Amino acid sequence: MLERGIYPDKFSFPFLLRACARSPPPGDSPGEGEQHHGLLLKHGFGKDIHVQTSLLHMYATCGASTRLRRYVGEPWGGVFLFWRMARDNVEINDDTLVAVLLCCAASGSLLNGKTVHGFMTRRRASPWPVEVGSSLLRMYTKCGSLDDGKKVFETMQTRDVSAWTAMIGGLAEHGRGAEALRLFERMVAREGLKPDAVTFTSLLHACSHSGLVEEGLELFKEMVSAHGVVPRLEHYGAVVDLLGRAGLSEEAQRLVDSMPLVPTRSSAVPCSALC
């Protein structure tokens, strides 16, 4: 398209950015999406409200926290953009809701999150798509309201692995390790869902923050043997943290020495666990 001298416009850029959000590269970078951002600015589409919303969704969904803050300044900027859209009667789709809920979660403002939730309810009765529901429960748990997050989770008519993982992660953040393990058992045994690498990261953190050493070590073993998930650096780091918190620094060091992977600066195991 570009080779033929045909450039995207304010209608096609949002589709390009949403495609980038669906297939984010690893790390704190939206990769190709950032190239599209530069291109749309070059062609003068940076102030179009639809393009701005798609950019917000892409950066938030890709987990590119550094670039999200650079784009909106602070998470409040994304929330402000959302209310500007509502005021101007701009169509608010599911991508927009996911983006603003992620911004509310990043800001830690429960009041803002509940206000957005109320807006969602007034505009359209639940059930919402699973991506929106997962973002809503994640917002509540990140903002400190675990009970509200659990209510959202239990009322979701469709729950995929990401929704279960979001709820497990919320329990982990609130020190409810045993409850997170029970939810995991329910997910696998009753729902028949296959956990992924992110699920195990959340579970291992849940065990670490709740002092469940034996349970965490057993999960680490079962990742490959029972679920076919190959441990990554973040899994080793979580187990090292688990052992370190339990005062098992020698075991933590042995695990580090046996790692088949070399930690990078961004994924290094916690040094405090080895002391």
Encode the chain (275 residues) as per-residue pLDDT tens digits: 545 555 555 555 665 666 665 555 544 444 565 655 555 566 565 556 666 666 666 665 555 444 544 544 455 567 777 777 777 777 788 888 888 898 888 888 899 899 999 999 888 766 789 999 999 999 999 999 999 999 999 999 999 999 999 999 999 999 999 999 999 999 999 999 999 999 999 999 999 999 999 999 999 999 999 999 999 999 999 999 999 999 998 999 999 888 876 555 444 455 444 55
Q: Which residues contact 203 (CB under 8 A, 6 or more apart)?
A: 168, 172, 180, 181, 184, 195, 216, 219
Of residues 140, 222, 126, the one with CA closest to residue 173: 140
The CA–CA distances, whole Å, from 202 to 121, 167, 207, 255 equal 29, 9, 9, 19
Q: CA of 161: how far to CAs of 81, 98, 250, 254, in Å?
A: 30, 17, 35, 32
Q: At what angle do helices 94-107 and 130-142 cross, to 10 degrees?
A: 10
> Cis ω on the peptide bond leading into residue 129 (within 30° of 0)?
no
165-275 belongs to which homologous superfamily? Answer: Tetratricopeptide repeat domain (1.25.40.10)
Q: Which of 141, 132, 121 is nearest to 160 (CA)?
A: 132
Residue among 265, 192, 275 at smallest CA distance from 240: 275
**Which SS3 state, helix, strand or coil, does residue 52 take?**
helix
Whole-prediction pTM:
0.72
Domain boundaries, the chain: 165-275
CA distance 116 to 106: 14
What single-letter amino acid sits at 224?
V
How far is C-alpha 9 from the chain's CA centre?
A: 30
